């Protein structure tokens, strides 16, 4: 099944200890789609300014993604500039310019309104509500957010949780949301408010799936060179939701495999600046890395 994805379509300027990239394509919807479109069709809704190099998203179109919901408006695109520290685990935001994104009002094209799978990227919870109001009867709604909204739009976000089946956030965010340092308790807190599935991303430490009463861990893939961590979380979400939508199943075995595909896509995303590594990525390479995750985690319980 196809996925409706609503999120930011941005330009990023990124500095890491290994180099610099200026005004490259980024944003949650772009990273998500670059990953998810390797699994199934993605229909994107977003907004960009006149300065956006839309042709750089042609690789998504060639893969079957429908970008007709990306509106181009007078003004500048959402721009983010950041610098990563030596160990790549921390970064400073150097500049954020919302541009046309400041007035973003997601308009879901008629032909997208029947979407069964919806991914709500990290945007204002009020807009996330708007999106869901325009979708007829979504079966699986997955959603991301960030500390800024958890703090500043808490009520709207808590209400949103009641409309969401899968929450995908990082460990810091779920702790803040539940006001609870223990991850297990924090995830259970969220589950009581709507989402039956909570995915907690932990960066290089991997991710945890909380589903009903079961837990599943996937490690981060150990890379010799992490080039640029930007977008790893969105690429993870793309692999995760992409696999689920491609199978049309939320069975435990699919949720687990989706977690590994998520970690696989996150691991590819960080190997180059922007979405470069996801452009010409054969599915065989994805499967190969999935097998490596199995090698890294399998053990026998008895001799």
Alpha carbon distances (Å) from 299 to 210, 264, 302: 22, 20, 9
| Residues between 176 and 205 with contacts to a second copy, criterion CB under 8 A | 181-185, 202, 204-205
Nearer to a second copy, 64 or 222 (CB): 222
Our measurement of the distance from residue 154's CA atom to the centroid of its chain's CA atoms, rounded to an integer in Å, reads 20
Decide if residue 219 touches a second copy (CB under 8 A): yes
Q: How many residues bind a second copy (CB under 8 A)?
A: 41
Contact with a second copy (CB under 8 A) among 75, 256, 271, 272: 256
Q: Which two tokens stand for residue 99?
A: 């541009």
Minimum CB distance to a second copy smaller for 277 or for 289? 289
- Which of 51, 216, 250, 279 is close enough to bind a second copy by CB under 8 A? 216
303 in contact with a second copy (CB under 8 A): yes
Cα–Cα distance between 286 and 251 in angstroms, integer?
21
Q: How far is the CB of 132 from a second copy (least distance, A)?
A: 31
Minimum distance between the CB of residue 297 and a second copy, rounded to whole angstroms? 5
Residue with tokens 């721009």: 79
Sheet with 91-97: strands ordered across: 19-26, 10-16, 78-84, 91-97
Q: List the one residue from 70, 127, 156, 290 that touches a second copy (CB under 8 A).
A: 290
Cα(first)–Cα(last) distance of the chain, in Å?
42
- Using the rule CB under 8 A, which residue among 4, 48, 120, 260 binds a second copy? 260
Residue-wise burial string across 59-83, b where 16 or more C-beta atoms lie within 10 A, e elsewhere: bbeebebbbebbbebebbbbbbbbe
CA distance 187 to 199: 8
283 near a second copy (CB under 8 A):
no
**CB-nearer residue toward a second copy: 137 or 301:** 301
**What residues numbered 70-129 form the site for a second copy, per CB under 8 A?**
86-88
* Contact call for residue 222 and a second copy (CB under 8 A): yes
**238-271 core/surface letters (b: 16 or more CB in 10 A; e: else):** bbbbbbbbbbeebeeebbbbbbbbbbbbbbbbbb
Nearest to 42 by CA among 61, 56, 24, 27: 61
Closest approach of Cβ 143 to a second copy, in Å? 23
User: Which of 55, 300 has the CB closer to a second copy?
Assistant: 300
Which CB atom, from 70 or from 290, has the smaller least distance to a second copy? 290
Determine, following the binding rule CB under 8 A, whether residue 296 of this chain makes contact with a second copy.
Answer: yes
Contact with a second copy (CB under 8 A) among 69, 82, 106, 206: 206
Closest distance of CB 99 from a second copy, Å:
34
Beta-carbon contacts of 139 under 8 Å, excluding residues fewer than 6 positions away, are 116, 117
Q: Decide: is 225 part of the binding site for a second copy (CB under 8 A).
A: yes
Closest distance of CB 184 from a second copy, Å: 5
Q: Which listed residue (55, 155, 224, 280) binds a second copy by CB under 8 A? A: 224
Q: Is the backbone of residue 145 left (phi > 0), alpha (psi -120 to 50) or beta?
A: beta
* Beta strands 207-211; 197-201: pairing state: antiparallel
Residues lying near a second copy in the complex (CB under 8 A) are found at 86-88, 175, 181-185, 202, 204-206, 208, 214-217, 219, 222-226, 247, 253, 256-257, 259-260, 290-291, 294-301, 303
């Amino acid at each position: 099944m196809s996925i409706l994805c609503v999120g930011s379509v941005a330009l990023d300027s990124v500095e890491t200890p290994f180099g610099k990239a200026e005004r490259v394509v980024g944003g949650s919807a772009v990273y998500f789609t670059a990953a998810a479109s390797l699994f199934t069709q993605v229909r994107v809704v977003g907004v960009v300014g006149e300065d956006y190099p839309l042709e750089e998203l042609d690789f998504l179109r060639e893969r079957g993604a429908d970008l007709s919901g990306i509106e181009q408006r007078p003004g500048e695109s959402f721009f983010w500039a950041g610098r990563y520290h030596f160990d790549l685990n921390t970064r400073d935001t150097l500049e954020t310019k919302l541009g046309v994104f400041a007035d973003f009002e997601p308009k879901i094209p008629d032909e997208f309104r029947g979407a069964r799978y919806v991914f709500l990227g990290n945007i204002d919870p009020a807009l996330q509500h708007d999106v869901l109001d325009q979708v007829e009867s979504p079966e699986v709604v997955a959603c991301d957010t960030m500390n800024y909204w958890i703090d500043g739009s808490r009520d709207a976000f808590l209400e949103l949780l009641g409309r969401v089946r899968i929450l995908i956030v990082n460990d810091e965010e779920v702790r803040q949301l539940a006001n609870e340092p223990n991850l297990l308790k924090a995830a259970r807190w969220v589950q009581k408010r709507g989402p039956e599935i909570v995915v907690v991303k932990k960066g290089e430490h991997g991710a945890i799936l909380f589903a009903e009463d079961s837990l599943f861990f996937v490690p981060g893939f150990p890379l010799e060179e992490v080039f640029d961590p930007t977008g790893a979380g969105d690429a993870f979400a793309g692999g995760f939701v992409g696999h689920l939508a491609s199978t049309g199943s939320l069975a435990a075995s699919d949720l687990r495999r989706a977690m590994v595909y998520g970690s696989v896509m996150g691991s590819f995303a960080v190997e180059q600046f922007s979405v470069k590594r996801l452009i010409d990525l054969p599915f065989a390479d994805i499967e190969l890395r999935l097998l490596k995750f199995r090698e890294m985690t399998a053990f026998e319980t008895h001799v």
